[in-house]
Amino acid sequence: MISNQQISRLKDQNIALVMSGFINALGIMRSLAIYPEIKIVCLCQRQSSGGYSKYIYEKIEYANTEEILPILIQLNSLSKKIIPFPTNDRNFKLLIDHRDQLSNFSILWDDPNIIDKDFQLELVERLGILYPKTIQMESIDDFSKIENLQGPWMIKPSFREETKSLFKAKITEDPGVVKKLLKECIEGETSAMVSEYIPGDDDTLYTYGGYAYKGKVYYPFTGRKLTQKPHLRGMASMAQTELVPEIVAIGNKLLHHLSFTGIFQIEFKKHQVNGQYYFIEHNTRNWFWSQLAAKQGNNLAANKYFSELKGESFVNDTYKSNYSKHYYFIWLEAVVVNILAERRGSVLGILFKSMIGKKTISPALFSWSDPIPFFMYLYNSFAIKILNQKIGR
């Protein structure tokens, strides 16, 4: 909970509330820190590496997710204006579901259905946007619906908390594997999304992101993944900025129809055979490698903070993204896994290409000006595991 000292420091303050302590959150905090007047509060689990950033005004730790809502309600009674930065769907939904108790929070969207994958797919179908056919399976009895989908299949949990051990996503041509993974999801108290798999490697996944107000995009960004951990079904281990007008046109159609307000990421996959872009998902928050937009000059976190603090009039209608050169996001630990554990030698070539010439690199964790989160991540990831092995835990 919030200590007495923190209460005095947070009283009547405008704050940016970052709701996590991992790579996504760290990128948000470092983007916000470009403006020293922004008071950054990190709400994170204990020992989260991002919670050690020097840019944090106050860190509030919780032991389990049940503690988050009481902390939010307490913050609401203390602070003047709170601009929240949820980094997962559960926290986004939590804010919407309890917006009546969080009157000092900037919560500009009131329909939690927007993060429901069925809702998204029904909408893009109505709008004539291409997408891989998908079925949500809520019980083991729904497995028979797989007959309506053409394999291979991608299966992933509908919701997946940081504290749970459920898989991220898996691709298979074996219906028996789909059934086994569906059972894991049900036992993990969530449903599963089973989709037709669109052919293409990691580098065929494209992102359209930005900040929108009532369906109009003011701070657009486009880029693509280069590699993922794990291969074909994970988070970006490397990504780059890239101008992709085709997905901007498709994404704007969706955002305008929704009249959406907030930070967004719409992910597409380019079919390796027909070259068309297929809708994958719409995220209503900063995505894993969104710090790359700030490196390019499009500081989405700060734009959201000031736009929502000062109102619509602050939104800049003249912003233009700069694609005169590429900017690269590199999560080095994941790249090492790509090369060594997954034995993907081609990743080494992609890494080398991203680092030669006049390129701007945005490391996922390391920063010369803010190095402690990187070393805490190493400690949490490796040192603790080694110590536990030595003492037989």
pLDDT band at 151; cut points 50, 70, 90:
confident
Radius of gyration of the chain (CA): 21
> Can you give the pLDDT at residue 163?
38
Candidate CATH numbers 3.40.50.300, 3.60.10.10, 3.30.1490.20, 3.10.20.30; the one for domain 133-196: 3.30.1490.20
Cα–Cα distance between 18 and 85 in angstroms, integer?
5
Span between the terminal Cα atoms of the chain, in Å: 29
Q: Please report which confidence band the pLDDT of residue 312 belongs to, taking 50, 70 and 90 as the band edges.
A: low
The class level of CATH for 4-107 reads alpha beta
Tokens of 322: 């700069």
CA-CA distance, 121 to 124, in Å (whole number)? 5
Contact 100, 89 (CB under 8 A): no
- Residue 319, pLDDT > 70, answer no
pLDDT band at residue 386 using 50, 70 and 90 as cut-offs: low
Task: Write the class of the CATH domain 202-356.
Answer: alpha beta
Q: How confident is the model at residue 321 (pLDDT cuts 50, 70, 90)?
A: confident
**Tens of pLDDT, residues 64-74:** 999 999 999 99
State which amino acid sits at residue 346: S
Rounded Cα gap, residues 293 and 10, in angstroms: 29
Whether the pLDDT of residue 161 is over 80: the answer is: no
The angle that helices 245-258 and 117-126 make with each other, rounded to 10 degrees, is 110
Residue in the structure block whose two tokens are 């929070």: 105
The predicted model scores a pTM of: 0.87
In 3D space, the residue among 250, 216, 242 whose CA is nearest the CA of residue 319 turns out to be: 216
pLDDT-derived band at 162, boundaries 50, 70, 90: very low
Mean pLDDT along residues 229-251: 94
Model confidence band, residue 353 (pLDDT cutoffs 50, 70, 90): confident
Mean pLDDT of 150-154: 89
**C-alpha pair distances (Å), 344 with each of 228, 232, 324, 348:** 11, 12, 30, 8
Reported as a pLDDT band with limits 50, 70 and 90, residue 118 is: confident
Per-domain boundaries in the chain: 4-107, 133-196, 202-356
- For residue 143, give the nearest of 175, 188, 189 by alpha carbon: 175
Q: Quick one: tokens of 342?
A: 């997954």
Contact 306, 316 (CB under 8 A): no
Going from the C-alpha of 171 to that of each of 79, 104, 193, 197, 250, the distances in angstroms are: 45, 43, 12, 8, 26
Residue of higher predicted confidence among 247 and 326: 247
Q: Beta-carbon neighbour count of residue 393 at 10 Å?
A: 8
Residue percentage of the chain with pLDDT more than 90 = 74
| Predicted pLDDT at 334 | 92
Rounded to 5°, the CA angle 348-374-159 comes to 80
Of 188, 235, 165, nearest to 207 (Cα)? 235
Cβ atoms of residues 211 and 219 within 8 Å: yes
pLDDT given at position 235: 92
